[in-house]
Structure formats: structure tokens, C-alpha cells
Amino acid sequence: MKNYISASWAILLFFGLFLAGCENDRCIRTQEYIQYEPVYKLIDEMRKPVIWEAPRDLVAPGKLFYYKGYLMINELQEGIHVIDNRDPANPINTGFLNIPGSIDMAVNGDMLYVDNYLDLVGINISNPNQPVEVSRVEDVFQQFYAYDNQLGYLVEYAPTEVRHQISCDNPDFGRPWIFAVESWLANADLSTGGVLFSNNKSVNASFVGGGSMARFTVAHDHLYTIDGGHVKVFDVQQSTPVLKNKVYMQWGIETLFPMAGNLFVGSNNGLLIYDISNPTTPEFRSTFTHAQACDPVVVSGNTAYVTLRDGNECFGYVNQLDVIDVSNLWEPKLIRSYPMQHPHGLSVVEDALYLCEGQYGLKTFDVSNPKEIHEHLLGHISGFDAYDVIVLPPGDLVMVIGKDGLYQYDASNLKDLKRISVIEVKRT
């Protein structure tokens, strides 16, 4: 009996050591991931004049703006592609505005306003094929960039593919990405006129408007820009913008949408509403609080549409569309929330809602009854990435930007959108 017990313990010890060895094998493995290395620049490297160059391929497209038959597509941190889109079936890449550090843009009259790292730059685009820098306001976006006395400004995190061995007790074990330092750069995710879409697919050159992911917007000859937790207000009635006000709202504000004398501000935990009837002095009206998430917003009539999505830049956990009654701007009320896959930008024209679902493509809904939107899905186009969308009134031309490029659709039949052109990104 004694020998039997000893043998049993020997067997258990053997298997214990064997399993421990296997566990160690499982906890040390070769892993591939993306490491984000901080990139610093000195002010002389950042403050460069805008240069008009030959056309470039789309590589990392960001936000989208439509100007009188032309499309301005941001190339993240690089500049702006200028696309002649007067014939949407045959868009022509005409040139590239080299603007390092650019993420956002807006247009007032014939002036394009864009960020160049810390600075706000004004560019005359009355001739879109010969844009000219005419003004610069320095040090506008101080809160967006961390600063080191020796290294300069932290302007981005550069992704680098890394392959090495890592153990399971490492906090980075299993992550698809790793930051090289414990600091964070605001994610660029990271991105309004009437016009007719005629039978020959040419667009009336009168419409000017941006997408729902905008951090810049214009109303009443004033430019509103987000800088950290503040919205800065510039009078742009003259060639050089004049800073008129700096309004603290809250950290986490992300998008701006002007409508009927009001400014709707999307933040990562709520929708803020400000009265801008006096454009230099936004006055707070109310807040609609929602779950923590990224949230672009558009407004049509008395209804606001807010998309909430999860993602590392917002630390959220929901993917949904909130439909909000804003008939009483002092007391906005939720009409209904609808689950979505991964919603990003959106646009509403009359009773049609166009909603970007990231890697899941573009969805179109009938929103004539805000309480029954899910029951009225008109169409779902998949197979491409959709980040933001602009729809030209009265709604026959839909332009979608995303990681895969620019896609344009004839939406004369809402239940059957027809692709009419695409400019794809260049894959490396």
C-alpha cells in the first residue's frame, strides 16, 4: 500500500511538472503586433507654408468637404486632395495641398480653413486648381499637442510592425497594438445651399458642405473650431481670422453641427446644445447625456441623430443610433435607441438617413417615423469601409469616404443605390 501511494505521488509530480512546462510554453510565444512610437517635431518643422503639388494617391483618407463641384479629401496629417467632381461619374484628382499636420477643414465663401499642427491657415480656393495661402493664425490648437522641452511637440504615434517573444504575464500580451509610452494623442478618428443632381450626372456648382465628423464648422461668417475642451470662435469676415471668443465646454467634445442659430456639439458622453444667434458668444442651453462613446451628430428639423460606437479613442462599449427630440432645445428627449454594428458618420436629407457602419459599409433608412427606423431599412451596401458621408440635396448623389477610398452613388432610387464611381486608396 505504501509503495502504491509513493508511485501515485510520483506520477502526479511528473504530470504536474509536465503541465507546468506546457504552461510555460504556452505563456511565451512569438507575437506580431503594431507598436505606436511617439513622433516629436520642433516648431520650425511644423510651421511650413502650404504648397500646391501634383496629384497624389489616396493612402489614409480622413474627412470630406464639398465645395461648388469639388471635393476636398483630407489625407491624415499630410494635406488635402482636391478632386474635380463636377462629373461624379468621372472624378478627376487635380492636385494636392501639402499641409503637414492637417486633420480638419471648413469653408466660408471662397476661403478654406485648415489646421497646420498648431496653426489655423486660410487658403483662397476661388480657383480650386490654384489655391493660395493668404492667412495664418499661430498657436491656435495648443491643447491638442503635448509638449516636451527638449523633444518638441508630440504630433503623432507612428505605427511600426513588431515581432518578438512575449510572456503571458506581460500586460501587453494578446494586444494587436502597443503604445511605446504611456501618453495619448487625440485620435483623428481617426474625420452645410442646395444643388440638383441632373440627368447627365453633373452637379450644380453652388453647394458647400462638410460631413458629420467635423471639428471645424462655419455659421454666420464665424468659424468654430475644437481645441481640447474649448470651442474657439473666429470672425472670418476679413482675410485673416480674428479670434473673438474661447468657450470652455468639456473635455471629450468631438464634432460640431450648426443648425437654425444653434450649435450642436457631440461629445463622448453627451450632446451639448448652444445658442449662437449671437455668433461670437455661444450660450449653453442643454445637454443630452448618453453612454460613453464616440458620437457624431446631425440635425434635421426637430430631430437629432447621434451615432455611438465603441473604440479605443473613446473608451466606449456601445454601438447604437440615438434619435432625439430637440423641439425643446432646453429639454431634449430620447425618442428611441437603435442597435448598430459600428456606426460612424451620417447624413439626413428629407426622410432618408444615410449611416456609415465602418467596415460594415453604408445603410439607408426611412426616418419618416423616428420611432420605427429599424423597421424601415431601405438598403445596406457592404464590401467597403464607410467613415463619413455627404449627400447633396435633394438627395440624388451620395459621397462616402472611408479606409478603402471615395465611393459615389446615384440615390435616385433609395432602395437600390447605384455605384457610379470610386477612387480607391493605394495599398502598400
Which residues have a Cβ under 8 Å from the Cβ of 5 and sit 6 or more positions away? none
252 φ/ψ sector (left φ>0, alpha ψ -120 to 50, else beta): left
- Say if residue 67's pLDDT is above 70: yes
Give the pairing type, strands 70-75 and 79-84.
antiparallel
Average pLDDT, rounded, for the chain: 84
Grid cell digits, residue 195: 444643388
Grid cell digits, residue 87: 462629373
- Say if residue 316's pLDDT is above 90: no
| Cα–Cα distance measured from residue 57 to residue 63, given in angstroms and rounded to the nearest whole number | 16
pLDDT over 70 for what percent of the chain? 80
Residue 394: predicted pLDDT? 83
- Say if residue 267's pLDDT is above 80: yes
Q: When comparing pLDDT for 288 and 22, which is higher?
A: 288
Region 31-60: mean pLDDT is 89
Long-range contacts of 259-267 (CB under 8 A, 24+ apart): 259/299, 262/329, 263/217, 263/219, 263/224, 263/231, 264/297, 264/299, 264/304, 264/326, 265/231, 265/297, 266/295, 266/296, 266/297, 266/306, 267/295
Residue 268: predicted pLDDT? 85
Residue 179: predicted pLDDT? 42
**Domains in the chain, CATH or no CATH each:** 2-39+148-179 (no CATH), 53-145+187-424 (2.130.10.10)
Confidence of residue 191 (pLDDT cuts 50, 70, 90): very low
Helix, strand, or coil (residue 247): strand
- Say if residue 198's pLDDT is above 80: no
Task: Pick from 121-130, 137-146, 153-162 the range whose average pLDDT is largest.
Answer: 121-130
Residue 30: predicted pLDDT? 67
Confidence of residue 23 (pLDDT cuts 50, 70, 90): very low
Q: When comparing pLDDT for 199 and 203, which is higher?
A: 203
- Say if residue 169's pLDDT is above 50: yes
Residue 177: predicted pLDDT? 46
Among 99-103, 310-314, 413-417, the range scoring the smallest mean pLDDT is 310-314
- Say if residue 25's pLDDT is above 70: no
Region 208-227: mean pLDDT is 94
Grid cell digits, residue 422: 470610386
